[in-house]
Amino acid sequence: MLFSSTFFLIYFLPVFFTIYFLLPNFLKNYFIVFSSLVFYIWGAPQFVFVLLATIIFNFGFAHLIFREHKKRNKLIFLVFSVIINLSLLLYFKYANFFIENINVMLSSLGMNTFHVLKIALPIGISFFTFHQLSFIIDVYRGVKPPMNKISDYALYILLFPQLIAGPIIRYNEISDQIEGRDKKFKVDEVLFGFLRFSIGLAKKVLIANVLGKEADRIFSLQASELDFILSWMGAITYTFQIYFDFSGYSDMAIGLARMMGFVFPENFNHPYIAQSVTDFWRRWHISLSRWMRDYLYIPLGGNKVPNGRLYFNLWIVFIISGFWHGAEWTFILWGAYHGFFLAIERLFLLKITSKIGVFTRVLFTFFTIVIGWVIFRSQDISQAFSFLNNMFSLTIKDSFFSNHLLIVLLIAIVLSIMPLFSKIRIFETSTLNYSILKTLFISSVIITCLMLSIGELTASDFNPFIYFKF
């Protein structure tokens, strides 16, 4: 069930919050767990028992780690639980990838190949696996003790705003909020959360979806059909599509959580005004970057290792980060590409670019990021290099783009670079202090625009009877 789906907006969301605010406080957490299970079962009923089994397993092992006094035994329990969690992720998400690549090697040697498994991917497994690992590792490190009630731990893992799309909320960031937050109906907080959700919804439907259609069209073309202009238009539209898609979902998650009394950390901070690739990763998918830093990069030695090892660690962390996004060589190459730029920035590039001015640095970084997104979006490495070749071929054919698309793209660009010219922070902030009236007005305007967006939500989408068969 997607946050931008009609069923979620018209049925799930109003029913959930109506019941949630009518319930006494001691029942609210249980209701969140129940509703989150319904949310997950709606999209992947066959995997709900896998999810519940991992919750029981990790809750039990966290308590074993917490109660164990011998450091060696604690480490054994930790390693075992990490292996189990990663094994599930590797099996469901990457088994077919490994088998297909082994088969390619075996075929080239004239040997018999393995049968490719038909493994369905549990929705959100990358996110809830990282949440589970955060819990286990934080307990092992003594950052936070495990929760006493399994229902509280289930709420942390199942909480539907973060369950299938992030942001990645670490255990130590939310554990105190599960029972300690203010569960009362607070008009300001609810309306602010609704505003944030509305902004994210508008990002997703009015910008990301529109740009995504054009990006899909261009990336589906044969190399012979592309030219300099068309390939760059595809790269640029996808660059802004993925930003407004990802940040839109983060805004919606942050808003939904805020309406329940939870405060989630920010996940995006205008990444396309970054002045280096290093700066980009401080602004892009912040929760993933911090997770990789604290649970992978620092355990590998962080900055306290010789330079050669440091650069190698950066490269490995970003290859793994790329692989986390999907089981394709393009994702691995994308991760290696970013790791390479992070390494050379530390070596010499930051010293060079520090002399070329802010706007030049922003443009150079943006150009670097766009090239990376072409690799990320391509179906395979062959298409990635073919697409990039067209971007630098300087061949021009007749290309047509609708005014509607160009207007949306211009809006996306302006919203993305606005902080370069102003201190305004509208789309990524948790500190806005709007009055109730202003919140209602802005939310109403955004929702009205959403409802009237031509081609995105048709009249039939708002027919409440389409989900019922009489």
Residues serving a catalytic function are: 325
Instruction: List the structure tokens of 22.
Output: 């009518």
Rounded CA gap, 55 and 140, in Å?
17
The answer to whether 386 and 222 have CB atoms below 8 angstroms apart is no
CA geometry: angle 90, 166, 337, nearest 5 deg: 65
Among 256, 238, 271, 273, which Cα is nearest to 199's? 256
Coil, strand or helix at 428? coil
Q: Is the dihedral of CA 338, 341, 347, 349 positive or negative?
A: negative
Cβ atoms within 10 Å, residue 69? 6
The answer to whether 65 and 145 have CB atoms below 8 angstroms apart is no
Among 61, 128, 90, 66, which Cα is nearest to 291's? 128
Rounded CA gap, 342 and 297, in Å?
13
The answer to whether 168 and 131 have CB atoms below 8 angstroms apart is yes
Q: Supply φ then ψ for residue 229, to 5 degrees.
A: -70, -45
The answer to whether 321 and 288 have CB atoms below 8 angstroms apart is yes
Among 136, 135, 140, 139, which Cα is nearest to 74's? 140
Torsion of CA 156, 158, 161, 162, to 10 degrees: 70
Instruction: List the structure tokens of 78.
Output: 């930790």
